[in-house]
Amino acid sequence: MLLAKTSEPHPKLPGTVHSAVEEIEAAGGKAHAVVGDVRNEADVQRA
């Protein structure tokens, strides 16, 4: 699981949670994008 606070691109940071998943999978890994807040227990449990 890859947990990020948003799926929208940030003007100062490259990529999104979804492009990160694509890179992980292109390298042979497995990943699933989840949008949430790591400080929120419910979001972490959902991930």
φ, ψ of residue 33 to 5 degrees: the values are: -80, 135
The pLDDT tens digits of the residues spanning 1-47 come to 888 888 999 999 899 999 999 999 999 999 999 999 989 999 889 88
Rounded to an integer, what distance in angstroms lies between the CA atom of residue 43 and that of residue 30? 20
What residue ranges do the domains of the chain occupy? Answer: 2-46
pTM: 0.76
Residues near 47 by beta carbon (within 8 Å), at least 6 away in sequence: 1, 3, 34, 36
Give the chain's radius of gyration (CA, Å): 11
